[in-house]
Amino acid sequence: METTTNIPKYTLNAEEEKKEILRQYRGLLRVLKPKLKPGNKEMLRIAFEMAAEAHKTMRRKSGEPYILHPLAVAKICVEEIGLGVRSTLCALLHDTVEDTDITLEDIQREFGSEVAKIVDGLTKISTVMDTNSTQQAENFKKILLTLTDDPRVILIKLADRLHNMRTLDSMKREKQLKISSETVYVYAPLAHRMGLYNIKTELEDLAMKYMEPDTYKYIAQKLSDTKRERTKYINDFIRPIREKLEKSGFDFEIYGRPKSIHSIWNKMKKKGVAFEEVYDLFAIRILVNSAVEKEKEECWKVYSVITDEYTPSPERLRDWLSNPKSNGYEALHTTVMGPQGKWVEVQIRTMRMNEIAEKGLAAHWKYKEGKDDESRFDKWFHQIREALGNQDSSSIDFLQDFKTSFLAEEIYVYTPKGEVKMLPIGATALDFAFSVHTAVGSNCIGAKVNHKLVPISHKLRSGDQIEIITSAKQKPNIEWLNFVVTSKAKSKIKDTLKEEKRKVAEDGKYILSRKLEGMGAAMSHSNQEELAAFYKVNSTLDLLYDIAIKKIDLKELKEFIVAGDKLVHPKPVKPVIPEEKTVVDITARPYNKKDAELIIFGESSDKIQYTLANCCKPIPGDDVFGFVTTGEGLKIHRTNCPNAARLLANYGHRVVKTKWAKNKEISFLTGLKIIGLDDVGVIHKITNLISGEMKFNISAMTIEAREGIFEGNVKIFVHDKDELDELVQRLIALPGIERVDRYDTE
């Protein structure tokens, strides 16, 4: 298992370096060979020499020459994504415009406008994603604009991110966290949406390696320990199927492959089971070599051979042959009961489908050439362009909406005439109404799903047929924002509400202008801003709206003095100080960037005021980061906190490196959930261990027993994670105890 370290591991001398660079370049040409046309080699050499010359004085954090990075990215583009010569040129040059003296004009002159445009897109993205500004989400919009211009930009960017993740060891810890969160939050879902499953799973696994190193190592170790028995099981499972398929004359490949560490961890969390109980640690894949017109038929034949041998689970059949996913994925998935009472997932697809599953978008285009049908990809790009057209939404909202609207799995639903519409999982009847037309959405009062009347908030399922019921009297209200997940519906509802608000605010404007006139003050923007700050509302629009609906009655205006035509309040407005504080150090000073490296919790010499985040309740020894909030100072979160990926990805510049100091004076409240067999004396054993033997203070304890199983919740004060881990180990060792899980106390 690799360990994370910040020491450069690179030790080649200049001569060896040159050889290594040439070796990598030749390796790139080798994988490109089938795609090379006359004159390509020459262009590639020019691009390589241009990049090598431009980056010659630069080194990566590991100490290696920088040019090795563009070479590696280009190789990923060709080998793992299936891109061609033009994309290789762009990958070689992707960092030159941003980091060196080479200009976009130089690239255009040498390689033409198409390559220059892609490099420009890549430059925009990197100045975007690696900045320390709150602009990250704003930048994400730019990325998507480039994506819809030329999707190769995003594919090369994914290759760039994959190589950075593979070489993240030499980075500082906070950089590792920031880059990993961004990867999990934006890039892995994008890779999935582009149909690049292998890259998506590798990105998730690598991010987990840095964000949850202990769990990652634990699962990797378990996988390695169980490899032999898994291989034996796969072989036993495959043998009878292979024989039957050979007998039926199929041309096929069959093999088992392990699930990714990240997906195993997700299963463990979602189902609340231990590693040993995750039944589908691997999937069996069958690839059929079939003519395009016979693909469907042959996949179903293979399905019937498998289900003759093993009993399938009816709920677990996924038919993406009839309805491919919008990222082009086609396959048949089923879960069957294998030997020894174990469930096994089987994936059936043809060689063509497999290439699309592995290479996503690039393969999709290869097979699409010559066909003029608008693919699901094109529809998806069209929807993104539409969402980007709405410039009004705040960027952070946009990023959140984008994730739920465009990166989620989708469902297929039907209009009354039988047209298929694709919506993200979690979409409601109201989302469907807006997807039909803005006016239909705005006037929607209900729907009939499969001919049954349902409210607008009804969540849709794949296969539903929906008819929308409208009324001219209906109009959107703020509640509606809780019922929709698609970006289109959200932005249209917000637009309408804003418009309504503006109309009402006109009355407020009139009332305020009369009052100000009477005082001799101007109805200026700065005066409105002053009053908005005084009444603690978010904007001047809110101020005028609240005046109109009589929420603000302006009697405090008499406290203001008019200087010239400006309003001035004699007492400066005090900011509201949040009440909830778990501050360890009373002698706090304001947060200073210089302290970023120094924060050590619990040492009075450091005098930094911090709060423990309520969402994840860290205790000393947890892997944590500090987050500078607005108005509440420094908050400490665990790196595996449910909000961590969002905070680190959107506000990376506010993250502060943090570590714990040993301090036995301070105790932290945490909770344990204990599940086991309801045996005589079991409660006594638990309390005796916690407070008697290990001397922990119990803050609260509840026990519920039902049908021979008990579930206990214990809140205790501990000094640090080591103590907690020891307690968990000793509790699990007690007879009859099945599981012990930490939870975050309220």
Q: What is the 3-state secondary structure (H, E, C) of 215-264?
A: HHHHHHHHHHHCHHHHHHHHHHHHHHHHHHHHHCCCCEEEEEEECCHHHH
* Strand 332-337 with 311-312, pairing: antiparallel
Whether 99 is a known active-site residue: answer yes
Catalytic residue among 17, 20, 79, 98: 98
CB 457, CB 427: distance < 8 Å? no
Smallest CA-to-CA distance from 496 within 399, 406, 390, 401 is with: 390
Predicted local distance difference test score (pLDDT) of residue 6:
40
- E-assigned strands of 31-91? none
Query: Which residues, at least 6 apart from 726, have a Cβ–Cβ distance to it below 8 Å?
Result: 694
Tokens of 389: 């057209």
In the predicted model, what is the mean pLDDT of the chain? 78
Smallest CA-to-CA distance from 686 within 707, 657, 662, 710 is with: 710
Instruction: From residue 737, give the alpha-carbon distance in Å to each of 187, 268, 673, 731.
Output: 40, 18, 11, 7
Predicted local distance difference test score (pLDDT) of residue 287:
93
What is the band of 380 on the pLDDT scale with cuts at 50, 70, 90?
low
Domains along the chain?
14-211 (1.10.3210.10), 221-368 (3.30.460.10), 495-568 (no CATH), 593-660 (no CATH), 668-743 (3.30.70.260)
State how far the Cα of 489 lies from the Cα of 318, in Å rounded to an integer. Answer: 29
State how far the Cα of 397 lies from the Cα of 490, in Å rounded to an integer. Answer: 10
State how far the Cα of 635 lies from the Cα of 641, in Å rounded to an integer. Answer: 12
Smallest CA-to-CA distance from 610 within 645, 586, 639, 593 is with: 586
Tokens of 517: 């006139």
DSSP string, 160-188: HHHHHHHTGGGS-HHHHHHHHHHIIIIIH
The alpha carbon of 64 is separated from its chain's Cα centroid by a whole number of angstroms, namely: 30
Catalytic residue among 17, 79, 99, 500: 99
What's the full length of the chain, in residues?
746
Backbone conformation region of residue 662, classed left if phi is above 0, alpha if psi is from -120 to 50, else beta: beta
The alpha carbon of 325 is separated from its chain's Cα centroid by a whole number of angstroms, namely: 19
State the DSSP code for 688. Answer: I
| Segment 208-242, tens digit of pLDDT | 999 888 889 988 898 888 888 888 988 999 999 99
What is the band of 279 on the pLDDT scale with cuts at 50, 70, 90?
low
Tokens of 264: 């195993």
State how far the Cα of 201 lies from the Cα of 186, in Å rounded to an integer. Answer: 13
Query: Between vectors from CA 114 to CA 110 and to CA 119, what angle results, nearest 5°?
Result: 80
Which range has the worst mean pLDDT, 300-314, 497-511, 528-542?
A: 528-542
Predicted local distance difference test score (pLDDT) of residue 281:
73
| Segment 400-449, tens digit of pLDDT | 556 555 555 677 788 888 887 888 888 999 999 998 888 999 999 889 99
